[in-house]
Amino acid sequence: MTPAQTLPMAAPDRWLIVLACVAILALATLPWLGSALIVDKLIYLFILVMFAVMWNLLAGYAGLVSVGQQAFIGLGGYALIRLVEAGLPPFPTIFLAALLTGIVAWAMSWFVLRMKAGEFAVATWVIAETIRSIVMFDPIVQGETGTSLLALNAYDPDLRRMVLYLLSLATMVVMVWGTWVLLQRRIGAESQAIRDDEDAAASIGISTFQVKQRIYIIASVGCALAGALWLASAITFQPRTSFGVQWSVFMLFMVLVGGIGTFIGPILGALLFFALQEIFGDFGAWYLAGIGIVAILFALYLPRGIVGLWLDNGRAEPLSLRKRLGV
Amino acid sequence: MLDSLIQGILLGGYYAVLAAGLSLMFGVVRFINLAHGDMAVLGALGSLWLVQSAGVGVPLAIVFTLLGMAALGWLMQRFIFERALAGGFLIPILTTIGLGAALQNGMFAAFGSDTKSLGAHIGNLSWASWELPGGIFVGQLPVYMFATAVLVLGALHLLLTRTAFGRAVRATSTDAEAASLCGVDPRKVHRWAAAIAVALAGLAGIFLAMRAQVTPFSGPMMLIFAFEAVVIGGIGSLRGTLIGGIVLGVVQALGALISPQISILAGHLVFLAVLGWRLMQVAAAERGGWRAALSAALNKPDLSRRQA
């Protein structure tokens, strides 16, 4: 069990990381300067980044293309509602809710990870629908109506916004950094080997199921955490929104357009998606149809996304995990 | 109870038609079209548009819709799916999810969100019924739909087993490369299979428009029902698809006796149970039968670890 050998980091990457740290520090001071609207929008952006990074971990690095991660987004929110209803303080409970959702992901993993690609995609979706139907039986949720995280109203709105903003920023940073660390470890190389050829990976002694299971649970807890944060910012819990398949479409769009299976791609994709939503969001259905068409075009003609365009010009992939593994 | 059972069986015909297209694509072209349900909705809204806005009669609208959907399927295979399939297992999934989102929202933008139905245009067929001995009423429309479903699936079965085209399809689905060595062009076969599959989705959409309300966002649920019917019945056989559709219809109809929400949930749960059972059988077969699998499971908590 020797750790994978990694090459020293390239100079541009170091600058990129320094730049990211500066950006994070700037973002951390923003709530004292920016308006409430900007703060709210940035919270949503951070949550989008978390979704994209988690889905990329699952689909891009472990080859598990799920259309059902909304199960965990919804469950994270639902667990938060339930636990706060039971009297727990809202903000710390966000993390507890995500951990509890991880147990569901663990239980599900035994079942779904035995399936082939297409089956896995649809089955995870059906399970998300099943969980939604079951959650809708909860009297608190009141079926389609949904419920609200009323306990948050006890806080001053400005304070609540600031706490949530800093919490989301910190969570996003930890999630992105954690993914970076995770993928540089042995499991990162193992999961990519499984994605590329599962049988070959098994034949060289990788416990394919275990690796996939770990990635699946981590990505699901990440989605639950982002989902719980989203609920805390949106306040209203509606089963059709929280468990909606649109989350999967968004995650797919961000990861695909940014560059699936690259570290920086999903982050770029989330930024782009956020910008598109700001610019074209008012067009409603036409905008969402456009998102679908752009996703098709990227899948067909630019499957490596924006990062792929960058690479086509003969440049090195920024923050690549591929090259850093010098075995 | 008996009433629900009959309704469920008749509903199964509709699910079988919906599922047959998905199953054909999966069996022949080897991918799951995640926009299959949205194609069905496109067929439904297309036929509705023909009847309501273009003033075409219902029978003619059905013919036009089916032909249009077949052409669409052929074109999509030619220009989208072929390219997607060349990109590995990831790309078809991503492409068809994108296609689904584009179709749903495009239809929403073009046709609006109000629920629509063909029910008003088919005269008294939407409520007429026959009385069976025992005081059970059976709707005429569901019976006609079931009969159509059985006829269509039967014809498809004959097409696949008795004709040169069917032979080419079966050869391609078994081994596309070997088929092409024998003079079959797999790309052509895939295109025609996609045409048939999308036309079947269109037919299912027309059924849906006749028996219920359609919205531009009905597609994902239809895909899920289709997939459930395919898995319950077993992939790769039309008879299995019909049985799967009927099982799903009956389960949903019986669930509906309790509440409308239970109806759909019951379908999901039966699907998950069947899928779980299949996976366990596969896992057991890999370990030399049930006994070996059981003892392996008891001795080693990690069932999946390949035995050295």
Report chain B residues whose CB lies below 8 A from the CB of A115.
275, 279
pLDDT at A46: 97
With respect to residue A301, please indicate whether it lies within any of the assigned structural domains: no
B132 beta partners: B136
Model confidence at B308, pLDDT cuts 50, 70, 90, reads: very low
Q: Is B23 left (phi over 0), alpha (psi -120 to 50) or beta?
A: alpha
> What does chain A come to in residues?
327
Report the residue of B94, B108, B269, B300 to disrupt the A interface, i.e. the one with the largest count of A CBs within 10 Å: B94
With respect to residue A321, please indicate whether it lies within any of the assigned structural domains: no
The proportion of chain A whose per-residue pLDDT surpasses 90, expressed as a percent, equals 65
Structure tokens at A251: 């995650």
- Would you call B285 an interface residue with chain A, using a CB distance cutoff of 8 Å? no
Chain-chain contact of A111 with B276 (C-beta, under 8 angstroms) = yes
Tens digits of residue pLDDT in A147-199? 888 888 888 888 899 999 999 999 999 999 999 999 988 999 899 999 888 89
With respect to residue A268, please indicate whether it lies within any of the assigned structural domains: no
CA distance to partner chain A, nearest, from residue B47 (Å): 21
SS3 A38: helix
ipTM: 0.87
SS3 A6: strand
**Is A1 a residue whose pLDDT tops 60?**
no
**Is B304 a residue whose pLDDT tops 70?**
no
pLDDT at A151: 82
With respect to residue A294, please indicate whether it lies within any of the assigned structural domains: no
Tens digits of residue pLDDT in A13-36? 888 899 999 999 999 988 888 788
Specify whether the CB–CB gap between A120 and A64 falls below 8 A.
Answer: yes
Pairing between β-strand A236-237 and β-strand B129-132 as defined by DSSP bridges: unpaired
How many distinct structural domains can be found in chain A? Answer: 1
Specify whether the CB–CB gap between B197 and B74 falls below 8 A.
Answer: no
With respect to residue A44, please indicate whether it lies within any of the assigned structural domains: yes
Q: Per-domain residue ranges for chain B?
A: 2-220
- Would you call B42 an interface residue with chain A, using a CB distance cutoff of 8 Å? no
Question: Can you tell me the distance from the alpha carbon of B173 to that of B18, in angstroms, rounded to the nearest whole number?
Answer: 20
Instruction: Decide which of B121 and A93 is more confident.
Output: A93
**Dihedral pair phi/psi, residue B161, rounded to 5°:** -100, -25
- Would you call B114 an interface residue with chain A, using a CB distance cutoff of 8 Å? no
Interface of B with A in 244-263 (CB under 8 A): 261
- Give, in degrees to the nearest 5, the angle at Cα B20 between B243 and A110: 75
pLDDT at A250: 94
For residue B232, CA distances in Å to A250, B18, B57, B270 come to 30, 14, 37, 8
- Would you call A276 an interface residue with chain B, using a CB distance cutoff of 8 Å? no
pLDDT at A7: 65
Tens digits of residue pLDDT in A191-209? 999 988 889 999 998 999 9
Model confidence at B297, pLDDT cuts 50, 70, 90, reads: low
With respect to residue A89, please indicate whether it lies within any of the assigned structural domains: yes
CA distance to partner chain A, nearest, from residue B126 (Å): 29
**Is A70 a residue whose pLDDT tops 70?**
yes
Question: Can you tell me the distance from the alpha carbon of B87 to that of B93, in angstroms, rounded to the nearest whole number?
Answer: 11
- Quote the strand ranges of chain A, DSSP E: 147-148, 236-237
- Would you call B106 an interface residue with chain A, using a CB distance cutoff of 8 Å? yes
With respect to residue A8, please indicate whether it lies within any of the assigned structural domains: no
Question: Can you tell me the distance from the alpha carbon of A191 to that of A165, in angstroms, rounded to the nearest whole number?
Answer: 32
CA distance to partner chain A, nearest, from residue B227 (Å): 8
With respect to residue A278, please indicate whether it lies within any of the assigned structural domains: no
Tens digits of residue pLDDT in A251-304? 999 999 999 999 999 999 999 999 999 999 888 889 999 999 999 999 999 998
Nearest CB to B98: which of A127, A260, A292?
Answer: A292
Taking each continuous run of H as one helix and of E as one strand, the counts in chain A are 14, 2
B9 beta partners: none
**Is B303 a residue whose pLDDT tops 60?**
no
**Is B301 a residue whose pLDDT tops 80?**
no
Chain-chain contact of A125 with B304 (C-beta, under 8 angstroms) = no
- Would you call B38 an interface residue with chain A, using a CB distance cutoff of 8 Å? no
Instruction: Tell which residue, B21, B50, B83, has the closest CA to residue B229.
Output: B21
Tens digits of residue pLDDT in B18-67? 999 999 998 888 888 999 999 999 999 999 999 988 888 889 999 999 99
- Inter-chain contacts counted by CB atoms under 8 A, chains A and B: 154
Task: Please list, in sequence order, all residues whose beta carbon lies within 8 angstroms of the beta carbon of residue A135, skipping any fewer than 6 positions away.
Answer: A74, A75, A78, A141, A239, A243
pLDDT at B293: 65
Task: Give the mean pLDDT of chain B.
Answer: 88
Interface of A with B in 39-58 (CB under 8 A): none
Nearest CB to A114: which of B223, B283, B305?
Answer: B283
pLDDT at B103: 95
Q: Which domain holds residue A72?
A: 30-244
Chain-chain contact of A293 with B102 (C-beta, under 8 angstroms) = yes
Tens digits of residue pLDDT in A210-247? 999 999 999 999 999 999 999 999 888 999 899 999 99
Question: Can you tell me the distance from the alpha carbon of B6 to that of B12, in angstroms, rounded to the nearest whole number?
Answer: 10
**Is A105 a residue whose pLDDT tops 50?**
yes
**Dihedral pair phi/psi, residue A148, rounded to 5°:** -130, 155
Question: Can you tell me the distance from the alpha carbon of A216 to that of A221, in angstroms, rounded to the nearest whole number?
Answer: 9
CA atoms within 13 A on the CB side of B304: 17
Task: Give the mean pLDDT of chain A.
Answer: 90
- Would you call A236 an interface residue with chain B, using a CB distance cutoff of 8 Å? no
